[in-house]
Structure 1
Amino acid sequence: MASTIVLISVEEGGNRGIGLETVKALLESNTTSDGNPYHIYLGSRDLQKGRDVAAKLPVAHGNTVSAIQLDITSPQSVDDAVATVEAESGRLDVLINNAGVNYHDMTDEAAKMSTLYEINVIGPSRTTEAFKKLLLTQPADGKKKEKRIIHVTSSMGSIASRLNPEFEFYHHPYTAYRCTKAALGMLTACHAYDLKADGVKVHAFDPGWAATEFGGGDPAVTRKLGAVNPRVPGLACRGIVEGKRDNESEVIVSINGDTYPW
């Protein structure tokens, strides 16, 4: 029985946020497209923190999880992660590029743009390119696996929405963050084009406004302002992994069935 191999880059330490909620949602799933369980690599910059988190996660239906050291800003770290996945699993079926940042305390806009671009765009590009060979590798038993890349983006990266006064975040600035997520949309489109002939499905996923510590936020405060429980985007991302949004292409897919134009 060949497990579906998933790698997800999670927030610092892997002990919070949308990435962790996605891991939890997958670990409790019994609805993989081919009926086989998941093995999830939880990619954490701090390996020990990642291991501590993975050890406490509840699993069901034969699903498993292990931590792997992954710093998407480090070519060596990414290459080492590829070597680990190849040695242990021989292939990768789903890559979820979830790690991303937004800094509110950086006052130099050019420096902020450069820093965010390195993490939000170059990081996913580097990781995807490095894992491409494993993504194109099928199980040795000859039973084909569906292959997917999910870039976790934001509706703030929608260029069309930026100019729409009815858009929920129309009056929010965040220019550097918006620009990096718009670039991630182009990266998604390029990966969709480049890998179409290989049958790899490529998605841009907006997790919505979730009550997490992302960008220095206080979950208790943002929840009162309308932010959703991070379990909501976790389940939504699992739905993409399991093919429930395959009919929506060339758009940013979001929670609650919403979509946004690139």
Structure 2
Amino acid sequence: MMAKTIVLVSGANRGIGLAIVKALLESAPSDSSNSAPYHVYLGSRDLQKGKDIAAGLPTSHGNTVSAIQLEITSAESVNNAVATVKAESGRLDVLINNAGVNLPTIPDEAVKMSTLYEINVIGASRVTDAFKPLLLTQPAEGEKVGKRIIYVSSSMGSIASRFNPKFAFYSQEYTAYRCTKAALCMLAACHAYDFKDQGITVHAFDPGWAATELGGGDPATIREMGGVDPKVSGFACRDIVEGKRDSESEVLVSINGDTYAW
């Protein structure tokens, strides 16, 4: 019997994270080169909220889901999540570092920068470091499963795009957010180097301008302004999980087959 691919998605109780979970739960083994079916851990700061959401998600093709408490700014919470995954599954195959924020209403730029770095960069680093032993663990049956780390970044973190007047968000400031997402891309690059001889593929992923509540936005308004359905982001991330973008390295992988230079 084929081992399930064990996936953890942080910040998965809403928005892009939830869209990624839903996309994975719809995946059929015939669609996947990375050993579907999946068991997906839906990471949520509020465990009960995560459980309620997970209970209402449709599953197919043998895919399963369970909620896990995960506050990426808390070492205790992250370590407890590691212990849970180890006890229940014995390993982790795909880590999707999706949890992140944009807090445009914080008036003090230094405070905003510090707050965003703690969540968007340090939090992601903490999660990866904590889960490293489980990422390096293969199934007990001896069957190898593809190992991946995906950092959900943003095209606004592309330094090259910041200098491009044709870039869709060229006129948008968001300095602190841009800086943290650029740093997250560097974290992905560093981990791609660190894990290159250990069988773990690392990607930085731009989910596009999705119609979510990120930064206090209204999904309906964003959709009217051209924002994509989060489903598009979810399926694009699933393509990365399933190895369909493996030929694209040293770039920020985006939706609709697009990429961005660092």
Deviation at 1:199, TM superposition (A): 1.3
In 2, the alpha carbon distance for the partners of 1:114 and 1:42 equals 27
In 2, the alpha carbon distance for the partners of 1:238 and 1:221 equals 26
SS at match of 2:197: helix
Aligned to 1:18: 16
Aligned to 1:28: 26
In 1, the alpha carbon distance for the partners of 2:35 and 2:189 equals 29
Deviation at 1:166, TM superposition (A): 1.1
8 Å CA contact retained: 2:11, 2:17: yes
The 5 A counterparts of 1:146-157 are: 146-157=146-157
Deviation at 1:160, TM superposition (A): 0.8
Deviation at 1:46, TM superposition (A): 0.2
Deviation digits for residues 104-161 of structure 1, max 9, x if unmatched?
A: 1101000000000000000000000000000000001111011000000000000111
Aligned partner of 2:131: which letter? F
Task: Give me the TM-score of the superposition, normalised by structure 2.
Answer: 0.97
In 2, the alpha carbon distance for the partners of 1:35 and 1:72 equals 27
Unaligned runs of 5+ in 1: none
In 2, the alpha carbon distance for the partners of 1:36 and 1:20 equals 18
Deviation at 1:35, TM superposition (A): 4.3
Aligned to 1:7: 8
Task: Give me the TM-score of the superposition, normalised by structure 1.
Answer: 0.97
8 Å CA contact retained: 2:95, 2:150: yes
8 Å CA contact retained: 2:97, 2:152: yes
Moved more, 24-33 or 81-90: 24-33
Aligned to 2:245: 245
Deviation at 1:10, TM superposition (A): 1.8
Q: Percent identity?
A: 74
In 2, the alpha carbon distance for the partners of 1:135 and 1:204 equals 17
Q: How many residues align?
A: 259
The answer to whether the aligner puts 1:163 opposite 2:163 as a matched pair is yes
In 1, the alpha carbon distance for the partners of 2:227 and 2:139 equals 40
Aligned to 1:258: 258
SS at match of 1:40: strand
Deviation at 1:33, TM superposition (A): 2.0
SS at match of 1:236: helix
Deviation at 1:36, TM superposition (A): 3.9
The 5 A counterparts of 1:116-155 are: 116-155=116-155
Moved more, 166-175 or 34-43: 34-43
